[in-house]
């Protein structure tokens, strides 16, 4: 292949291999060398040498640096992926997570040798409980989805402890896919509750569905259209009157920090996505962290172990007969807990409140700037994200996917598309509080440019993206059978 910039990306690290080339240099052994065949049983000896690339350190560094530049992340670009809260991850969090006392602590170290780590977990759980108005928090779940699963298992254990065998969980049709999935895995029948056209819960429909078979109602606040549920207190009271537990999907907590609290709204359980609201790195398959908070009546059911404090000593409490059991390897994704704790402490209560104020301001700014060129899903004001619909553009042959692809050419990551499912051609835009007005303006300019191109020359948009390392992929196949080889691109 010619010497083009693209050619540099064309090789797998295996293809850079040159026999005998190495990336290490070791001093001569100062102990006698022995033949492995004399030391190890035959069955543990490999027959053939491993097919590893033989490359220099420089080859390795250049190869992976090149690949990293093909990546798209919040450190390089605006990332308005709605519902995901892709905010900046302050570097001080990384410094703290790398402190050797945390980073090099063995997960099975004796409690007496891990007091600092246990103290941090105890303090973080307390902070999250305070932020959400809950009485206790488990830090174990590794993602929001696992937090949901944990919460639903606790709700089940609670009902069973009262001799009630309820079989259904109600979930609005605007919900994120993990809600029905984690509920079904926990053994419940999922019953969908229709939303009103503006995305709010249809309280009358809900009231008709609530009966003694219903274990819980699971709802996202603000909802997935970026709207605060105006009748939420009425809803939680209605549920409680029928013995139904209320679960808040806390993925959108970025909108309400310091403004209101799930516990005060009447929720019994809620999860936190530390990788969304609390800045821990997000994406690439994790790790994430999805702590779950509960009111006092559910505390006995928390996963074991629970970090306890006695005087100045911290300990892991395993003797909890009503616990739903252990959920996650070791104590959860501890590095994420250090980052989130650092973030909460650096922000303080006023800082966290300012997060939500600014996130809401940014989303409303974008919504206002786009409302002439795109249909807004629900007339504003919105909370921390806004949902627009490309239904107007679709009449001219341009879909939400086309718009998302064109944005990549214009230097922006795409918003979430086709979610929530109840909005036709949805584009869900979440700017987060960490973006400046200049960036928001550039993004809005790009969106408006695409709307104009749709009217003038839709063909440009159908070909997009033109400037990315790969063009339009079969998205399902790309996710299921990733083929990272440039030269085989379609």
Ligand X SMILES: *Cc1c(COP(=O)(O)O)cnc(C)c1O
Binding site residues, ligand X, CB under 6 A: 83-84, 143-145, 176, 178, 220, 224, 249, 251, 273, 288, 290
Beta strands, E only, 335-444: 375-376, 386-389, 416-417, 426-429
Minimum separation from the CB atom of position 460 to ligand X (A) = 32
**CA-CA distance, 144 to 157, in Å (whole number)?**
20
Minimum separation from the CB atom of position 437 to ligand X (A) = 25
Question: Of 205, 127, 222, whose CA–CA distance to 170 is shortest?
Answer: 205
Nearest CB to ligand X, comparing residues 141 and 263? 141
Longest dimension (CA), the chain: 82
Minimum separation from the CB atom of position 143 to ligand X (A) = 4
Minimum separation from the CB atom of position 282 to ligand X (A) = 9
426 has which bridge partners?
Answer: 389
Nearest CB to ligand X, comparing residues 249 and 373? 249
Nearest CB to ligand X, comparing residues 114 and 383? 383
**CA-CA distance, 138 to 306, in Å (whole number)?**
7
Nearest CB to ligand X, comparing residues 171 and 215? 171
Nearest CB to ligand X, comparing residues 181 and 191? 181
Residue of closest CB approach to ligand X: 144
Segment (H or E) for 264: helix 262-265
Which distant-in-sequence residues (6+ apart) come within 8 Å of 364 by Cβ? Answer: 380, 381, 382, 386
Q: Dihedral sign, CA of 222, 225, 226, 229?
A: negative
Minimum separation from the CB atom of position 254 to ligand X (A) = 10
Helix, strand, coil shares of the chain as percentages rounded to 5? Answer: 40, 10, 45
Minimum separation from the CB atom of position 277 to ligand X (A) = 10
Nearest CB to ligand X, comparing residues 250 and 450? 250
* Crossing angle (nearest 10°) for helices 437-456 and 400-409: 120
Question: Of 93, 117, 98, 97, whose CA–CA distance to 107 is shortest?
Answer: 117
Strand-strand pairing, 269-271 and 245-249: parallel
Minimum separation from the CB atom of position 273 to ligand X (A) = 5
Minimum separation from the CB atom of position 75 to ligand X (A) = 20
Nearest CB to ligand X, comparing residues 125 and 171? 171
Nearest CB to ligand X, comparing residues 182 and 323? 182
| Residue 129 near residue 292, CB atoms below 8 Å | no
């Amino acid at each position: 292949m010619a010497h083009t910039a693209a050619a540099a990306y064309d090789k797998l690290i295996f293809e850079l291999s040159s026999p005998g080339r190495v990336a290490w240099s070791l001093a001569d052994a100062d102990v006698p060398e022995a033949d492995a065949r004399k030391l190890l049983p035959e069955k543990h000896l490999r027959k053939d040498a491993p097919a590893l690339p033989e490359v220099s350190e420089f080859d390795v560094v250049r190869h992976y640096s090149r690949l990293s530049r093909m990546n798209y992340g919040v450190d390089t670009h605006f990332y308005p992926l709605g519902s995901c809260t892709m905010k900046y991850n302050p570097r001080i969090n990384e410094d703290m997570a790398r402190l050797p006392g945390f980073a090099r602590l063995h997960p099975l170290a004796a409690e007496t040798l891990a007091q600092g780590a246990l103290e941090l977990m105890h303090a973080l759980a307390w902070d999250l409980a305070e932020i959400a108005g809950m009485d206790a928090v488990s830090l174990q779940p590794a993602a929001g989805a696992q937090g949901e699963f944990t919460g639903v298992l606790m709700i089940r254990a609670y009902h069973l402890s009262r001799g009630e065998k309820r079989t259904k969980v109600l979930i609005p049709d605007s919900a994120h896919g993990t809600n029905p999935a984690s509920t079904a895995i926990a053994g419940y029948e999922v019953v969908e509750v229709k939303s009103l056209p503006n995305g709010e819960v249809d309280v009358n429909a809900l009231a008709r569905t609530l009966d003694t078979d219903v274990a819980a109602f699971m709802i996202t606040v603000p909802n997935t259209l970026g709207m605060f549920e105006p009748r939420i207190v009425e809803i939680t009271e209605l549920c409680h009157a029928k013995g139904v537990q209320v679960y808040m999907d806390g993925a959108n907590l970025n909108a309400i920090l310091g403004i209101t609290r799930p516990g005060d709204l009447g929720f019994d359980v809620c999860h936190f996505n530390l990788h969304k609201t609390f800045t821990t790195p997000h994406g690439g398959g994790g790790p994430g962290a999805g702590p779950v908070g509960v009111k006092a009546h559910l505390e006995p059911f928390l996963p074991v172990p629970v970090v306890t404090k006695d005087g100045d000593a911290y300990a892991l409490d395993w003797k909890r007969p009503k616990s739903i059991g252990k959920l996650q390897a070791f104590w959860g994704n501890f590095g994420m807990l250090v980052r989130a704790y650092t973030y909460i402490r650096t922000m303080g209560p006023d800082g966290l409140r300012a997060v939500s104020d600014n996130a809401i301001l940014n989303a409303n700014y974008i919504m206002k700037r786009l409302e002439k060129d795109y249909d807004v899903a629900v007339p504003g004001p919105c909370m921390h994200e806004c949902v627009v619909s490309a239904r107007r553009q679709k009449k001219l042959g341009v879909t939400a996917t086309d718009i998302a692809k064109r944005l990549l050419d214009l230097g922006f990551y795409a918003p979430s598309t086709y979610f929530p499912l109840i909005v036709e051609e949805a584009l869900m835009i979440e700017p987060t509080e960490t973006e400046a007005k200049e960036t928001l303006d550039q993004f809005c300019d790009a969106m408006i440019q695409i709307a104009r191109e749709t009217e003038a020359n839709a063909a440009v948009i159908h070909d997009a993206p033109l400037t990315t390392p790969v063009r339009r992929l079969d998205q399902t196949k790309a996710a299921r059978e990733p083929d990272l080889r440039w030269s085989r691109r379609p």
